[in-house]
């Protein structure tokens, strides 16, 4: 049986309002009454319903974060940064994993709305504009993380992925590679499309260089392994001499396929570049060259943008874009 505030009031011989004052404004109640109410709480084992209190207060002390793939260390690093910044503001972060599924993503947005979170950060897979506008109409700001919000009217914090793609391809071209394979997908993800566009632009500037797309169904190790096995199966004259993977998980899968399924050497026969610079990138059998994103800073900045809009709802949306950094390791001869 759930113990209610009314049960506490009856046992202590006071009104429900007095119990509420003892819980929320004890300075307004005499010490004797406070002691009586606390004794009744203790005896009955009453636990206050924080969600109900927070609901009455308007917003809870939590933020919502929806990521594309909680199995990707990039997003757990982003969440870590968001949590650290939220804690500085006395807030907690509720994490939802859309797993690249638009329906799950929508369900999390609705759940965070019911929980009256203080704000929502999201790395969207579907068209979430309408749901986020409904949230905003109820005083709950939303921020895009990991990709620009474009003309949606929301703020965003991300990395310049076109610049990141260019960095990766320029590095491979400087290493003398001329037949680059871009491994990544699905292409309706802005992150993937932008990285490919940046690499294409770099390749277009070098005579005799080419870039071929090997589209994957996901940004995962399994998808990378599948792409790597397709590369291994190519006749030597068609085989790329370099691979730019849209993220490190794909690069890990490509590397595993090359090492396990062929005698191809990395980087001698095939140079390899990933993206994100997750912690594992430096620990792979051939340490991975990768385009580093400031993952934790993206998370921190997402919270800053939410807090700013929470305090000033009229503030204009802001698109914050960090510059990527190339970390050179053995997989390209570093």
Residues touching ligand RIB, count (CB under 6 A): 10
Report which DSSP code applies to 286: S
How far separated are the first and last CA of the chain, in Å rounded?
Answer: 65
Question: Which residues, numbered 200-219, are part of the site for ligand RIB (CB under 6 A)?
Answer: 219
Query: Using the rule CB under 6 A, is 72 a contact of ligand RIB?
Result: yes
Query: Using the rule CB under 6 A, is 77 a contact of ligand RIB?
Result: no
Question: Which residues, numbered 245-264, are part of the site for ligand RIB (CB under 6 A)?
Answer: 247
Question: Which residues, numbered 124-183, are part of the site for ligand RIB (CB under 6 A)?
Answer: 146
Return d(Cα 185, Cα 148) in angstroms, integer.
Answer: 18
Residue 111 CB coordination number (10 Å): 14
Query: Using the rule CB under 6 A, is 276 a contact of ligand RIB?
Result: yes
The nearest distance, CB 72 to ligand RIB, in angstroms, is 5
Of 3, 29, 4, 10, give the one whose Cα is nearest residue 18: 29
The nearest distance, CB 246 to ligand RIB, in angstroms, is 7
To the nearest 5 percent, what fractions of the chain are helix, strand and coil? 50, 15, 35
Name the one range near ligand RIB by CB under 6 A: 32-40, 50-58, 66-74, 149-157. Answer: 66-74
Query: Using the rule CB under 6 A, is 21 a contact of ligand RIB?
Result: no
Q: Which of 46, 108, 154, 275 binds ligand RIB (CB under 6 A)?
A: 275
Of 272, 256, 289, give the one whose Cα is nearest residue 181: 272
Task: Supply φ then ψ for residue 325, to 5 degrees.
Answer: -135, 135
Tokens of 15: 């009104």
The nearest distance, CB 212 to ligand RIB, in angstroms, is 21
Binding site for ligand RIB (CB under 6 A): 68-69, 72, 74, 146, 191, 219, 247, 275-276
């Amino acid at each position: 049986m759930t113990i209610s505030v009314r049960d506490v009031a009856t046992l202590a011989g006071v009104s429900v309002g007095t119990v509420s004052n003892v819980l929320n404004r004890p300075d307004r109640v005499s010490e004797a009454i406070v002691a009586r109410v606390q004794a009744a709480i203790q005896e009955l084992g009453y636990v206050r319903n924080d969600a109900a209190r927070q609901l009455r207060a308007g917003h809870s002390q939590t933020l919502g974060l929806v990521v594309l793939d909680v199995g990707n260390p990039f997003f757990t690093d982003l969440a870590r940064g968001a949590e650290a910044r939220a804690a500085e503001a006395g807030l907690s972060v509720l994490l939802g994993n859309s797993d690249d599924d638009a329906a799950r993503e929508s369900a999390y947005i609705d759940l965070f709305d019911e929980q009256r979170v203080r704000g929502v950060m999201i790395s969207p897979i579907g068209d979430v504009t309408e749901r986020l506008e409904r949230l905003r109409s109820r005083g709950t700001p939303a921020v895009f993380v990991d990709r620009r919000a474009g003309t949606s009217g929301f703020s965003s914090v991300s990395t310049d992925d076109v610049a990141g793609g260019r960095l990766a391809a320029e590095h491979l071209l400087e290493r003398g590679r001329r037949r680059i394979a871009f491994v990544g997908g699905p292409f309706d993800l802005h992150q993937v499309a932008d990285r490919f566009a940046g690499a294409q632009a770099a390749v277009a500037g070098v005579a005799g260089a080419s870039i071929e797309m090997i589209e994957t169904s996901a940004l995962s190790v399994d998808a990378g392994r599948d792409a790597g096995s397709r590369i291994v199966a190519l006749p030597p004259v068609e085989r790329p001499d370099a691979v730019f993977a849209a993220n490190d998980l794909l690069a890990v899968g490509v590397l595993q396929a090359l090492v396990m399924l062929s005698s191809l050497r990395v980087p001698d026969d095939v140079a390899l570049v990933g993206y994100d610079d997750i912690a594992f990138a430096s620990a792979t059998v051939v340490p991975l060259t990768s385009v580093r994103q400031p993952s934790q800073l993206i998370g921190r900045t997402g919270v800053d943008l939410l807090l700013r809009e929470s305090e000033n709802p009229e503030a204009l949306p802001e698109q914050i874009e960090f510059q990527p950094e190339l970390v050179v390791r053995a997989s390209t001869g570093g």
